Amino acid sequence: MALLEIEGLTHWFGGLRAVYNFHTRIEPGEIRGLIGPNGAGKTTIFNLVTGYYRPTEGRIVFLGRDITGKRPNEIGKLGISRTFQNLRLWTHLTALENIMLAYYGQIRYGLIGAFFNTRRRQEEEARIEVEAMDLMRMLEIETYAHRVVSGLPYGIQRKVEIARALATKPKLLLLDEPTAGMSPAEMLETMEFIQFVRERFNLTIWLIEHRMKFVMNLCNWIQVLNFGEVIAEGPPDVIRDHPDVVRAYLGEMVEI
Give the footprint of other proteins on this chain (CB under 8 A): 50-52, 71-73, 75-77, 81-82, 84, 88-93, 97, 100-107, 109, 111, 113-117, 121, 125, 128-130, 133-134, 164-165, 167-168
Cα end-to-end span (Å), the chain: 35
Cβ closer to other proteins: 61 or 133? 133
With respect to other proteins, which residue has the nearer C-beta, 206 or 221?
Answer: 206
Report, in Å, the least distance between residue 216 CB and other proteins. Answer: 28
Provide the 8-state DSSP code for 95: H
- Choose between 144 and 221: whose C-beta lies nearer to other proteins: 144
Backbone angle region of 6, left / alpha / beta, with phi > 0 → left and psi within -120 to 50 → alpha: beta
**Closest CB 122 distance from other proteins, rounded Å:** 10
**Residue 41's closest CA among 80, 12, 15, 5?**
12
User: In angstroms, rounded to a whole number, what is the distance separating the alpha carbons of residues 153 and 145?
Assistant: 13
- Shortest separation between residue 80's beta carbon and other proteins, angstroms: 9
| Smallest separation, CB 63 to other proteins (Å) | 16
Q: Give residues with Cβ within 8 angstroms of 235, minimum separation 6.
A: 220, 221, 222
Inter-residue contact 161 to 89 (CB < 8 Å) = yes
Q: Among residues 165 and 212, whose Cβ is nearest to other proteins?
A: 165
